[in-house]
Amino acid sequence: MAFLSLEQLDGRVSSTSGISVDFMRDWRQAALRLNAGHRTAFQHGYWLGAWYEAFHGVPPLIAIITDTVTGKDIAMVPMFSHVRRGIRVVEFADLGVSDYNAPILACDATFDAAGAQAIGAALVDALRALPDGLDLLRLKKLPAYVGAKPNPLVSLGRLGSCSLNGNLVLTGDDYADYQASIKRMQMPRCWRVFSRHAGARFEVASDAARAYELLDVMDVQQQERMQQLGSRFVLNDEAHARFYRDLARQGVAEGYAVISALVCDEGIVATTLGVRYGATYYLLRIGHAGKQWANCSPGLLVTERTMAALHAQGVRRFDLSIGNHDYKRRFGAEPVPLTDVSVALSWRGLPYVLRDHAAQGLRRHPRLAAFAARAMGKGTR
């Protein structure tokens, strides 16, 4: 039998169908509640700890979902709330820096399709019951699975409704076989060309100090590239710079944060930033020194050298990040569909949900989407 209760003090709880939802406003306290479980690399404690510290202008809203019968935690959902155009929105702790958003699922959490729907419904009911006056729940980039567990929040949306997708490369155990499969990229030739420069080497930062040096160069390289493309670059502003450096400070020594580079006597030629979780590596940022190094394809080469180094350490899954740049296909990446969720928490959120669903529907019909974009003066280039 479904029931609903609400405590007005912090520790607010809503319960639906035997599932209770408790909200916490401090990540450091919440992290103690469920510090083990199934998650992606973007729900790692280092990632979320750095995120909530760097983007401190947004109020944390962290849901703890519990089985009221057993008293055991089922999941934690790291979110925040903010006001946009007068609408109070709840989103994952992301702001564009995470590739995948998902709950942290308890190690022993078990649920079927009906249970997943109950978990999603309980979260929505609890958000509506809060006195914050929330209007819209908008969850983006949800993978279908969190580790080996199905993602229960996907039940709130439509599988594959996200405009973005992951790009996964499975190398197998023999890296030479994988290298042969991408021989058209001519990575051995690129390495030979690069190696002609005095002091040429590939390196992975082993301490925070070196990681900071590489990140400083990466910021410059990426900003110059974005300026050439006429695009805005924000990853070196105060909040983002703090986030990535805190991530490096905590994660480099343990191999969670992986910051690598092509270096020679002339300087740092190319850089990458990624995170490793288990046997999976997620490539997040690539920078390189520009056209004068084009003969050795430094962005591709530093990526391939990073993959080779991590493969030797046991990594077999390489996620080349969201988006569909051509080079990812050349590395052999296969698309991984993601889900977006939009749920109205009040009547004020309804127009935004309708707009989100309309956009998702258009994406299923590319020709219609292109026509709509031209009609609104947003022709593709």
- What DSSP string runs through 275-312? EEETTEEEEEEEEE--GGGGGG-HHHHHHHHHHHHHHT
Share of the chain above pLDDT 90, in %: 76
What is the band of 350 on the pLDDT scale with cuts at 50, 70, 90? very high
Domains, the chain, ordered by start? 13-164+337-375 (3.40.630), 172-315 (3.40.630.30)
Answer for the pair 284, 96: CB distance below 8 angstroms, yes or no. Answer: no
Is the model's pTM score more than 0.85? yes
Q: What is the mean pLDDT of residues 53-68?
A: 93
Measured in residues, the chain has a length of 381
**pLDDT of res. 98:** 97
**pLDDT of res. 15:** 58
Write out pLDDT tens, residues 147-171: 888 999 999 999 889 999 999 999 9
Write out pLDDT tens, residues 200-213: 999 999 999 999 99
Nearest to 62 by CA among 85, 86, 46, 43: 43
Write out pLDDT tens, residues 274-313: 999 999 999 999 999 988 999 999 999 999 999 999 999 9
